[in-house]
Amino acid sequence: MTSTTESLEVGAVVAERSVHLTREALVRYAGASGDFNPIHYRDDVAERVGLPGVLAHGMLTMGLAVETIVEWLGDAGRVVEYGVRFTRPVVVDAETGADVVVSAKVGAVDDETARIDLTVTFGDTTVLGKAQVRVRRQS
């Protein structure tokens, strides 16, 4: 599904998805990214530094959030700018994992670009604040 210029109305939801994260996914991401901080895979270390448990990598959360709109865009090269604030952690339970839910809504539109606002939650908590993607309206 490729986005069209005509369909961009402020407030329209353009994509949604839920991503289930597991500890295995965190280890795979650590290998791909080179971020082997033990708070992302060891309960004892996370507890020792005062965290509520093993945390998903912030950049993993950021990446899966923006990837939500790629199918809608039809071309990841249309992303012009992307930024977030990390507001709360995603705690990944050893047995049940964690579900991250992403909703992408048109926040603003001009002649050449659109701002897509991402709402990214884990449970009832927003984990990325001011998550905004500016995209070219036409490829």
| Predicted pLDDT at 138 | 79
| pLDDT in the model for residue 1 | 44
- At 134, give phi and psi (nearest 5°): -100, 125
Q: Is the pLDDT of residue 33 over 90?
A: yes
Can you tell me the mean pLDDT for 70-85?
95
Mean pLDDT of the region 50-57: 97
Residue 63 placed within a domain: yes
Is position 81 within any domain?
yes
pLDDT of 139 over the 70 cut: no
Contact present, 23 and 92 (Cβ < 8 Å): yes
Gap between the Cα atoms of 111 and 124, Å rounded: 35
In a domain, 90, yes or no: yes
Range of the domain at 131: 5-21+56-136
Q: How many domains does the chain have?
A: 1
Alpha helices in 15-139 (DSSP H): 23-33, 43-48, 58-67, 70-73
Query: Tokens representing 97?
Result: 């994992």
**Residue 7 is encoded by which pair of tokens?**
């369909």
pLDDT band at 3 (very low <50, low <70, confident <90, very high): very low
- Kindly state whether residue 123 falls inside one of the protein's structural domains: yes
pLDDT digits (tens, 9 = 90+) for 8-24: 899 999 999 999 999 99
In a domain, residue 118? The reply is: yes
The answer to whether position 32 is within a domain reads: no
- Is the separation of the CB atoms in 102 and 90 below 8 Å? no
Residue 60: other Cβ atoms inside 10 A: 24
